[in-house]
Structure 1
Amino acid sequence: MDLFEYQGKDFFARYGVPTSTGVLVRDPEAAVEAAREVGFPAVVKAQVQVGGRGKAGGVKLVRDEAEALEVATAILGMDIKGHTVHKVWVEHASDIAREYYVSFTLDRGVKQYLCLLSSEGGVEIEEVAKTNPDAIARVHIDPLEGFTETEAAQLVASAGIEEVSRVGVAKVLLQLYQAFVEGDADLVEVNPLIVKTDGNVHALDAKVTLDDSAGYRHPEWEAYRADMELDGREALARSKGLNYIGLDGTVGIIANGAGLAMATLDVVSQAGGRAANFLDLGGGAGADAMANALEVINTDEKVQAVFVNIFGGITRCDEVAKGIQEALERVELSFPMVIRLDGTNAREGHDILRGLLSDKIRVEETMVGAAKTAVELAKKGER
């Protein structure tokens, strides 16, 4: 679950991380009142779950009420990388002396946590990695041993943080690590982490992704979920218990397993197409799950073809094929469908699917072949 900035700051505050207090509003007039409350100069910040807000004009400094009204009116309703701004966060402008970058995440390759720290904050970390990779210090953290004060101090020094700020930055790193681990987060990122003119270290931004599988331990997350903004596709998918994320391509994706779904997105991209969604059926791919998946994808007007990619392990391919057969009796497709089955009882599954073949329903032996066919069909539909 990706949090909005204001939710991320609330999450940080639970672990003592210093952040800016502010006011969340949904209309320009309320933004003026909020700016008056926090004090001028203030900053009006678009609340969207995507980076690049500043470059898009979604973060603006305002010095008086007239400017606050003008800026809030411009930002509310703005489109930022496909996300419409429905609310803004208004906080008092910070007096910034220096800007840094810090993040904690999981490095799955080495099965350890990873902390990145850079003395060049306030810009996209990808740009820093390209132009000045030496400006990024990193340390792997053994989850069983944790992140110590000594390691934090060493990391701060190796990142080239000014000596006068090192103690304060190290302290915040330890607080962020606590938030990351105890808060069951997949990612915590602050860009920028600032040193104010009074010397205090402060999280000016908050990007947080929580691990949904740990939600049972955190009843307080329900408040975050209640304020999530889902498009129609995602709301329908959630109501049907599907693991779905809407994207902006034309090839619908249905796969069983998160890893296979991610690989499917990659192979569609390699074939020259763009995925319209991520949809993981999980372990089951029966008629109900398949019908629900097709119903959700049917609501996406951008979809021109769908790629069903199933690998049978415990789930048998003949059972999946029966599920697809039953689902197609319940859902009228608005697009052609390409199916790839492999794994347990794949031959029996293909025998069942053979009776479904038509101009609208095709079966491919390989994932690459199926991706290419789906992309070709999607491009024909776009013409």
Structure 2
Amino acid sequence: MRLHEYQAKNVFADAGVPVPDSRLATTVEEVLEAVEAIGFPAAIKAQVHVGGRGKAGGIRIATDESEARRYAGEILGMDLKGYTVEKVLVEAGVDFENELYVGITMDRGEGEPVAMVSTEGGVDIESVAEETPEKIAREHIDPAFGLHPYQARKVVYGAGIPRDIAGDVASILATLYDLYESKDASEIEINPVMVTKQREVVAADGVMNIDEDALFRQPDLAEMEDEAAGDELEAKANEYGFDYVRLDGNVGIIGNGAGLVMATLDLVDHYGGSPANFLDIGGGAKAERVANALDMVFSDENVDSVVFNIFGGITRGDEVAKGINEALAQFDELPKRVVVRLAGTNAAEGMEILNADLVDVEATLDDAVRRAVANAEGAQ
């Protein structure tokens, strides 16, 4: 479960991390009330689960009431990478001279949490990690002992943080690890930590992802779940019991197995397409489950075509094909072209059963993905 920025910052503030004064708003009038209380300049920030909000127009800095009114009207209700903005965070502007990155995540290769600090804050940290990894200092943490103070200092100095603020940054890092451990987080970061001209450090953003399997231990965070979802498709995924992640492409992807879906995403990208989602419907693929998956993908207006990648294991391919036919028959007209690829037990029988009047049938995954990418290009 991913918290919104305002929710993460509330958790940070309760733990003692410095955050700017802010108010949540859902209407233009509430934005104006917030800026009156906070003062100018004020940041108006869309609360949706996407990166690059600023570049997409989802973050604006208002210097007076007229700008606040105009920006609030532009951001509230806007489509931001497929998400409708229903809430904004109105936040006091920070007069800063530098931006840092601080975060805790799980290094699955090492099997331990890792603390990360960089002077390259305020930018895409994934790009920094790929292009200039030496600019990110890392320190692995033994979960049996936690983050020692010397480790926090070591990673902070290793990143080249100036001595006059190193102690404050190390304190923030230690607090983030305490939250990571106590709140069952899978990832927690601040990008950027802003360094003001008065040499104070302030959390100007906040990311906090919670292990959904541990929510029963986190009743306060569990109460935020519905509000944190913030997206109709993600809410549907929770209702249907699917593993679903929305992406920003136009090729919808449905599969029965996480590895199968990931391989399909990679092939869509390989053949020049752009995946619209990760959707794992799990074992089975009975008619109702297939129909629910199609309902989700068809509901995403960014999707121009769909590829169904199904492997018949315990559930035979002919049973899967019957389920797909029954599901597709529930639609008077398919809003997107659908490509189906079947493999595994009784796949040949399943391919014969599939209604070729409703779907494009391909024998191999490569052919299925190529056709789905071509269908998406043709729909534009």
TM-score by length of 1: 0.86
8 Å CA contact 2:321, 2:354 repeated in 1: no
Change (3 A) 1:241 1:100: same
In 2, Cα distance between the equivalents of 1:161 and 1:302?
Answer: 42
User: Is 1:104 paired with 2:134?
Assistant: no
Q: Is the 8 A contact 1:319 1:349 kept in 2?
A: no
What is the CA distance between 1:89 and its match in structure 2?
A: 1.4
Correspondence for 1:364: 362
Q: Which residue of 2 aligns with 1:208?
A: 208
Match of 2:223, SS?
Answer: helix
Question: Is the 8 Å Cα contact of residues 118 and 135 (structure 2) preserved in structure 1?
Answer: yes
Give the equivalent residue in structure 2 for 1:194. 194
CA distance in 1, matches of 2:148, 2:213: 27
Q: Does structure 2 conserve the Cα–Cα contact (< 8 Å) formed by 1:15 and 1:178?
A: no
RMSD: 2.9
Q: Counterpart in 1 of 2:169? A: 169
Contact 1:320 1:349 in 2 (8 A): no
Q: Which amino acid aligns with 1:366?
A: T
The answer to whether 1:226 aligns with 2:226 is yes
**Distance in 2 between residues matched to 1:306 and 1:362, nearest whole Å:** 10
Contact 2:216–2:222 (8 Å) recurs in 1: no
**AA matched with 1:86:** E
Post-superposition shift, 1:78? 4.2
- Which residue does 1:138 correspond to in 2? 138
Alpha-carbon distance in 1 for matches of 2:364, 2:142: 39
Q: Distance in 2 between matches of 1:17 and 1:312?
A: 50
Distance 1:49 1:295, change over 3 A: closer
Alpha-carbon deviation of 1:92? 2.4
SS of the residue corresponding to residue 224 of structure 2 reads helix
- Whether 1:34 and 2:34 are equivalent positions in the alignment is yes
Cα displacement string for residues 18-70 of structure 1 (whole angstroms, at most 9, x for unaligned residues): 32231111222322221221234433323232222333444344444344334
Aligned position for 2:340: 339
Whole-Å separation in 2 of the counterparts to 1:297 and 1:333: 15
The one-letter code of the counterpart of 2:353 is G
Give the drift of 1:120.
2.7
Could you tell me whether the CA contact under 8 Å between 2:320 and 2:350 is conserved in 1? no
Structure 1 residues 365 and 15: CA distance shift in structure 2, 3 A: farther
Q: Is the 8 A contact 1:307 1:374 kept in 2?
A: yes
For 1:316 and 1:303, how far apart are their aligned partners in 2? Answer: 29
Unaligned runs of 5+ in 1: none
Asked if the contact 2:116–2:137 (Cα under 8 Å) also holds between the matched residues in 1, the reply is yes
What residue in structure 2 maps to residue 158 of structure 1? 158
1:1-383 aligned at under 5 Å gives the runs 1-126=1-126, 128-129=128-129, 132-228=132-228, 230-300=230-300, 303-332=303-332, 334=334, 335-343=336-344, 346=345, 348-380=346-378, 382=379
Q: CA deviation at 1:206?
A: 0.4
- The alpha carbon displacement at 1:6 in A equals 0.5
User: Taking structure 2 as the reference length, what is the TM-score of the superposition?
Assistant: 0.87
- SS of match in other structure, 1:227: helix
After TM superposition, give the deviation of residue 224 of structure 1 in Å. Answer: 2.3
CA positional deviation for 1:311: 2.8
- Per-residue CA deviation, residues 60-112 of structure 1 (Å, 9 max, x unaligned), is 44444344334433433444434443322122223435321112222223322
Cα distance in 1 for partners of 2:30, 2:174 equals 36
Measured in 2, the distance between the counterparts of 1:278 and 1:247 equals 7
User: Is contact 1:321–1:350 with CA below 8 Å preserved after alignment?
Assistant: no
* CA distance in structure 2 between the partners assigned to 1:200 and 1:100 by the alignment: 12
Alpha-carbon separation, structure 1, partners of 2:186 and 2:221: 14
2:265 & 2:122 partners in 1: Cα distance? 31
The Cα shift of 1:190 comes to 0.8
Question: Alpha-carbon deviation of 1:189?
Answer: 1.8
Per the TM alignment, residue 205 of structure 1 is displaced from its structure 2 partner at its CA by 0.9
- Do the aligned partners of 1:253 and 1:307 also contact (CA within 8 Å) in 2? yes
